[in-house]
């Protein structure tokens, strides 16, 4: 039963992320692993809720995946108080 609850929670969270990032055509979140590796999903999620923090087009088109991930972690820490728990590399 605990495994089923976790699966349902993950599905609900994944659905929320997909809904939050739907207007970003470069982003297609299908899971919590490979869908995040290029940094676009994390930045899109942040931008969808706080578009005032950065220029989406600049981040999406001009940076490498590691730079995009580092950007998202930095924005999350500086403006939202979310600590960096992973290394972009």
In a domain, 49, yes or no: yes
Q: For 37-50, how does the pLDDT look when each residue is reduced to its tens digit (9 = 90+)?
A: 999 999 999 999 99
- Tell me whether residue 63 is in a domain: yes
Inside any domain, residue 7: no
CATH number at residue 59: 1.10.418.10
Residue with the bigger pLDDT between 77 and 5: it is 77
How many domains, the chain?
A: 1
- Residue 55: φ, ψ to 5°: -85, 110
CA distance 5 to 38: 29
The domain of 40 spans 36-88
Q: What's this model's pTM, rounded to 2 decimal places?
A: 0.86
- Over pLDDT 90: what percentage of the chain? 74
């Amino acid at each position: 039963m605990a495994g089923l609850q976790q699966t349902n929670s993950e599905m609900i969270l994944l659905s929320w992320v997909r809904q939050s990032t739907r207007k970003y055509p470069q982003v297609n979140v299908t899971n919590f692993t490979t869908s995040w590796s290029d940094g676009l999903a994390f930045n899109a999620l942040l931008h969808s809720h706080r578009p005032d923090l950065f220029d989406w087009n600049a981040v999406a088109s001009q940076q490498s995946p590691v730079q995009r991930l580092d950007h998202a972690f930095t924005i999350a820490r500086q403006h939202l108080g979310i600590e960096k728990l992973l290394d972009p590399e």
